Amino acid sequence: MAIDWGRMAMGIGTGYLGAKIANTEANDKLNADIIKAAGLKFHEKTYPEWEKKQELYEKDYKMVEALHGKQVANYFGEKGLFGTGSGLNDVESILSKYNISKTELNKLDLSTFEDRKASRLEDIQSKERQIMELTTGSSKIGPATIKNQLEGFGEGTGTATETQPSNVEGTPIVPIQERSTMEADVTTGSLFTSKAPDVEGAQARYKHIANTVNELEGYTTNVIYGEGGQINLNMFGERRNEAAAHIALANRLITQNPQQYNQNNAATTAKQQLNYLTVSPFENIATELKVEYNSGSGKLPATLGTPGTTYDANKVLDNGQTIDQIILGTINEIPTGPSGEINEAVLARLIENIPDGLTTNINGEIVNYKQQLKTELAIRSSNFWAKRNI
């Protein structure tokens, strides 16, 4: 049987053409799917995120400019610290540790806010044009090429003037931390020099807090100022312990959260905390016992019920706790320092407010609860802390 080479060639050609058409259609569909996904991502995610970041950038820039001037704002703008909404905090974190040389700063040829804004706008418009060209044009490039061209969409926008690609403007950056990349960069040039510890500033802050607290509560007019709770308020004043504890708590609030507290609102909040820690527990005990409580002050001892009446500190109240457990639980709530040490000023005020009428049993002997607690707290007896699980 003779082979019909012409028919075979036609069949092979038809099969090849069919496969080629099918492959082209598959590639076209794949291209279309990729382009569609890229377009949706751009319009639904990339561009809205870009707009939001531009608003944050402008907010950050203007706040720094208002406080430190254009040159400082432009310097940190080029370093990529803006666009997160916390730019001012980040700048303040650096400037609190370093002096900036205005002479060296003025030598720098820095881009302006408008320059960087235009650069970011061009960046996003370029991406939009790329999307539009792929969407409306007759793209004949392969899927891998399209993917490569669209790589990075939604990853943030940069500027042509930035010098630190890792901190590109418009992308979220971690707020400045101790020895951050930005701080390391700061220490390498002559623009910044490290600041000496601001002892005078800390003392001034502490003095302002003490004044505000004293004005709020009228503790005394004879004040000797110190830092970190070391304060004497009229050696013979009736409210010395209360004032010292109040100041210590206010100082702690401002030190730990200076963005939220100043001496005025810290003084008010600290007073509420002080009452919660040193007065409310005994008022609650008095309510359980259905008697009246009066807090202590200087030479006037705290009282519970009728003067001369005694109460066993191990008495179980209706709430299921003993008086001893309530007091020791409150000691657990007193703020501690960096090394875990208890705030002695607040502890002293708490002890002052323990009623003299409380008693406890030590080895079969009835003793004054306040005196026993003061003794054991003073020597930090391991048995005491273990027994009371403090």
Tens digits of per-residue pLDDT, 107-151?
Answer: 899 999 999 999 888 888 887 777 666 655 554 444 445 455 555
User: Can you give the pLDDT at residue 103?
Assistant: 85
Same domain, 184 and 283: no
Last residue of a domain, one of 194, 226, 247: 194
Confidence of residue 305 (pLDDT cuts 50, 70, 90): very high
Same domain, 31 and 138: yes
Same domain, 104 and 148: yes
DSSP state letters, 82-99? -SSS-HHHHHHHHHTTEE
Q: Has residue 208 been placed in a domain?
A: no
What's the average model confidence in pLDDT over 320-340?
88
Q: Has residue 203 been placed in a domain?
A: no
- For 127-147, the three-class secondary structure string (H helix, E strand, C coil) is HHHHHHHHHHCCCCCCHHHHH
Confidence of residue 102 (pLDDT cuts 50, 70, 90): confident
Same domain, 238 and 300: yes
Distances (CA, A) of 166 to 36, 79, 81, 92, 169: 30, 10, 11, 21, 9
Q: How many domains is the chain partitioned into structurally?
A: 2
- In angstroms, rounded to a whole number, what is the distance separating the alpha carbons of residues 152 and 232? 62
Q: Has residue 383 been placed in a domain?
A: yes
**Between 49 and 42, the higher pLDDT residue:** 49
- In angstroms, rounded to a whole number, what is the distance separating the alpha carbons of residues 57 and 62? 9
Distances (CA, A) of 175 to 54, 80, 88, 159, 172: 18, 11, 10, 20, 9
Contact 76, 91 (CB under 8 A): yes
What's the average model confidence in pLDDT over 342-366?
91
Is the pLDDT confidence value at 284 over 90? Answer: yes
Same domain, 171 and 221: no
Same domain, 177 and 52: yes
Same domain, 378 and 299: yes
User: Can you give the pLDDT at residue 323?
Assistant: 95
Last residue of a domain, one of 142, 166, 194: 194
What's the average model confidence in pLDDT over 370-387?
66
What's the average model confidence in pLDDT over 327-352?
87
Q: What is the DSSP letter of 171?
A: S
User: Can you give the pLDDT at residue 173?
Assistant: 33
Of all residues in the chain, the percent with pLDDT exceeding 90 is 24
**Bridge partners, residue 197, by sequence:** none
Same domain, 154 and 27: yes
User: Can you give the pLDDT at residue 194?
Assistant: 76
Residue 373 main-chain phi, psi, to 5 deg: -65, -45
pLDDT one-digit tens code per residue, 51-73: 888 888 998 898 888 878 899 99
Across the beta sheet with 358-362, the strand order is: 311-312, 358-362, 365-368
Is the pLDDT confidence value at 90 over 80? Answer: yes
Is the pLDDT confidence value at 379 over 70? Answer: no
Least reliable range by pLDDT among 90-94, 110-114, 165-169, 253-257? 165-169
Q: Has residue 200 been placed in a domain?
A: no
pLDDT one-digit tens code per residue, 168-213: 333 333 333 333 456 555 555 678 887 655 444 566 666 778 778 8
Is the pLDDT confidence value at 246 over 60? Answer: yes
Q: Is 100 helix (H, G, I), strand (E, B) or coil?
A: strand
Which is nearest to 14 in space by CA: 6, 4, 3?
6
Is the pLDDT confidence value at 281 over 90? Answer: yes
Q: Has residue 202 been placed in a domain?
A: no
In terms of Cβ atoms closer than 10 Å to its own Cβ (0-12, 13-18, 19+), residue 325 is middle
Q: Has residue 207 been placed in a domain?
A: no
Same domain, 180 and 227: no
Same domain, 183 and 79: yes
User: Can you give the pLDDT at residue 181?
Assistant: 54
CA count, 13 A, side-chain hemisphere, 144? 0
Which is nearest to 35 in space by CA: 152, 149, 157, 154?
149
- Domain with 91, as residue range(s), is 5-194
Same domain, 346 and 222: yes
Q: Has residue 61 been placed in a domain?
A: yes
User: Can you give the pLDDT at residue 169?
Assistant: 39
Query: How much is the pTM?
Result: 0.46
Distances (CA, A) of 297 to 211, 294, 369: 20, 9, 18
* Side chain identity at residue 137, one-letter code: G
What's the average model confidence in pLDDT over 258-268?
85
Is the pLDDT confidence value at 245 over 60? Answer: yes
Q: Has residue 283 been placed in a domain?
A: yes
Last residue of a domain, one of 166, 194, 222: 194
Same domain, 179 and 305: no
